[in-house]
Amino acid sequence: MSDLSGEVIDGRYELITLLASGGMATIYEALDLRLDRKVAVKIMHPHLAEDEKFISRFIREAKAAAALSHPNIVAVQDQGWNQGGAPAVFLVMELVEGHTLREYLLERGTLTTVEVLRFLIPVASALAAAHKIGIVHRDIKPENILISLSGRVKIADFGLAHGELIGSTMTAESSVLLGSVSYLSPEQVQRGVADSRSDVYSLGIVAFELLTGQKPFSGDSPIQIAYKHVNEKVPAPSSINPDVPAEFNALVIDSTRTNPDERPRDAEEFLTRLIAIQAALDPQRPQLSLELDLPPAPIREKPRTPKRTPAPALDSPTERVEPTVSKETKKGNIKKDSSSHPKKTSDRVRRNRKIAGTLVLILAVAIWYLVSGFGAKVVVPSVVGGNVTQATAALTPLGLHTEVADRIFSEDIPAGIIISSRPAGGGHVKPGATVSFVVSKGPERYIVPSLVKLTANAALSLLKSNSLAAGNVTEVFNPKIAKGLIITTTPAANSSVTRDTSIDLVISKGPELLALDSYVGKSAEQALNELTDAGFKVDPVYVYSDTVATGAVITQTPDGPLNAPKGTKIALTISKGSELVYIPNVYSLTLLAATGLLQDLDLVVTVKQMGNRAIKNVTNVLPKVGTQVKRGSTVIITVG
């Protein structure tokens, strides 16, 4: 399928970058133009979009994931057909920025038991939620388990899921084998049927691979692997990794039994045993519930009568002043007591007033300093995600200078894009200050140099200078490359790889030497058979010889006994017997018998017919009987 990056699907989703491509669809990072957010858009290949069965599977994936609401399942947000532009049947999902469990496993190899639990518990929790509503995933494998940058584990690709809510197309009668063969349960291989116990089997295989760093079965073809899943028991993980706890060992064995009835019935039971293993390994660790559906808090009714406002407390908790209002006061006639004096302000009030005044003065000076005075600052806008040219264009009008402080490799950010700035966006600097950038150099990649015909030491030195490492070294015979020199590498020369990638080397042991015997005087047939079986190339030449019997070897080049490289060309000269023969007596023989005898001696026969007899015999021979002639000579016989 051609790259659709830059296309707008359904007038809403702008395809930005191609993320992955499989046998059924291609996944793009896209921008939802309506909600201004990034999403993942899965587009079915055009040649499949004409097949109703594949469209049905594609829509079933949308229904399967949409029927589930779980933090560990990739959410489906939309599905449809592109109405304009490139024809496309598409599915819109949340964009999980991160990597797959397969990539993590390839980088780490065998994981610790604690790490395995950290990945399997959320996966089992998500599957348990699916199994509760009758949905079976049917394609659990590390490639379909995503790990976001924040560490959230999510299950993706419900393309093979089935259940009561979404229907099913795989039946025992269809005999269609879907899914990844290394993780398929025996019943899926044999009968093409699957239920929750099939997902448990696949989850057990994933657990085995995480604990041991390898799959339980391997073979030259998928059929061989499928056969082993049906006819062989999955070995205990502890047989490969002795550090696997006994409880985990038992869980993997129980989950991968050939008979589905002997496995945990669903992911909920698998999850329960995982949590028990986690509690046994770390009793001090708080075992939080994974159940996310919390009971709603009851709504309290508002009081119908307003609460009374309490009277303000006085300085002394024991004194309360009750003001007395006379009738004259109510009428406006206020009597002044000549003996009363104005109330004196307390020391505490005067102190509080001084503190408040001082704070107001300090605040006013600070505002003036920051806004209009020498402390005025410029707010630095965020430039992360843009290039240096765009950042300079944004900062220069603000009176700021720019510089590239460093360039570093990044697996996630394209080359030339700003990773961070100092100060960061939102920071304050003085006018004329310099904002420095850290710019991405893109993914750190190195080109594998050509090491063919170099010595091992020279190759190691060259790999080290290119930030690469030597991997496995294999020695093989090679007739063209001298002993000790490199024949080939894996990855091959000019491949782009990451730093410290191990490069496997194949080194020549030189040509393979074989024992070569002499066959001079021996049967040519024996020589041809034995030399060819030993690995030599034989070039026979047939000549006449008066001294060597017919079919015997006259000369051999090179001649033995000696050691010669495998594939050496051996020239044999083989005798055809003497070149001279005697004319035999063929008188009175029938035409057919006489002709056969003469032709066996490599003579050319010419026949003269005489008379009308039905059965004719030889009456004359030229040259005469007993004459010595060369093979290939002509002999005239007369019959009558």
321 or 217: which carries more pLDDT confidence? 217
Structure tokens at 273: 């045993």
Which of 84, 72, 86 has the alpha carbon at shortest distance from 28?
86
CA gap 58, 178 in Å, rounded: 14
Q: What is the pLDDT of residue 423?
A: 86
> Whole-number mean pLDDT of the chain?
81
Domain range 513-575, CATH architecture: 2-Layer Sandwich (3.30)
Q: What is the pLDDT of residue 221?
A: 74
566 or 296: which carries more pLDDT confidence? 566
CA gap 253, 211 in Å, rounded: 13
Residues with Cβ within 8 Å of 414's Cβ and at least 6 positions away in sequence, in order, are 440, 442
Q: Where in the chain are the domains?
A: 8-94, 99-281, 385-440, 446-508, 513-575, 580-639
Residue 322's CB is within 10 A of a number of other CB atoms, namely 4
Domain 99-281 has CATH 1.10.510.10: yes
Catalogue the E-assigned strands of 149-277. Answer: 153-155, 162-163
Structure tokens at 5: 């990056």
Which of 504, 500, 493, 505 has the alpha carbon at shortest distance from 450?
493
Which residue type, as a one-letter code, is found at position 176? V
Percent of the chain with pLDDT over 90: 36
CA gap 78, 20 in Å, rounded: 19
Domain 580-639 has CATH 2.120.10.10: no
Q: What is the pLDDT of residues 117-145, one digit of tens each?
A: 999 999 999 999 989 888 888 889 999 99
pLDDT of 449 > 80? The answer is yes
Q: What is the pLDDT of residue 5?
A: 85
Residues found in the chain = 640
Q: Helix, strand or coil for residue 109? A: coil
CA gap 49, 60 in Å, rounded: 14
| Beta strand 8-9 pairing with 569-575 | unpaired
pLDDT of 325 > 60? The answer is no
CA gap 549, 527 in Å, rounded: 15
Helix (H) or strand (E) holding 490: strand 486-490
| Beta strand 634-639 pairing with 618-622 | antiparallel
Q: What is the pLDDT of residues 588-607, one digit of tens each?
A: 888 889 999 999 888 999 99
Q: What is the pLDDT of residue 250?
A: 95
Q: What is the pLDDT of residues 13-65, one digit of tens each?
A: 999 999 887 767 889 999 999 999 999 998 888 777 667 777 777 777 677 66
> Which band of pLDDT confidence, cut at 50, 70 and 90, is reported for residue 207?
very high
Q: What is the pLDDT of residues 621-634, one digit of tens each?
A: 999 988 989 888 99
99-281 against 580-639: fold identical: no
Among candidate residues 36, 78, 139, 600, the one labeled active-site is: 139
Q: What is the pLDDT of residue 172?
A: 28
Q: What is the pLDDT of residue 256?
A: 96
Residue 347: C-alpha distances to residues 59, 344, 353 (Å): 80, 9, 10
C-beta contacts of 327-333 below 8 A and 24+ residues apart: none
Structure tokens at 86: 């490139």
Query: Per CATH, which fold does 8-94 belong to?
Result: Phosphorylase Kinase; domain 1 (3.30.200)
Structure tokens at 604: 């050319």
Q: Helix, strand or coil for residue 489? A: strand
CA gap 626, 635 in Å, rounded: 12
Q: What is the pLDDT of residue 402?
A: 92
Q: Helix, strand or coil for residue 233? A: coil
CATH class of 446-508: alpha beta
Question: Does residue 237 contact residue 208 with C-beta atoms inside 8 Å?
Answer: yes
Q: What is the pLDDT of residue 566?
A: 87
68 or 14: which carries more pLDDT confidence? 14
Determine whether 139 is an active site residue. Answer: yes
CA gap 523, 520 in Å, rounded: 8
User: Which region among 352-366, 538-552, 558-572 has the lowest average model confidence (pLDDT)?
Assistant: 352-366
Q: What is the pLDDT of residue 361?
A: 72
CATH class of 385-440: alpha beta
Residue 392: C-alpha distances to residues 396, 432, 542 (Å): 6, 13, 87
Query: What backbone phi and psi angles, to 5 degrees, belong to 465?
Result: -70, -20
Residue 142: C-alpha distances to residues 100, 153, 628 (Å): 7, 11, 87
Question: Does residue 476 contact residue 509 with C-beta atoms inside 8 Å?
Answer: yes
pLDDT of 291 > 70? The answer is no
CA gap 386, 130 in Å, rounded: 41
pLDDT of 89 > 60? The answer is yes
pLDDT of 581 > 90? The answer is no
Mean pLDDT of all residues in 320-332: 40
pLDDT of 322 > 50? The answer is no
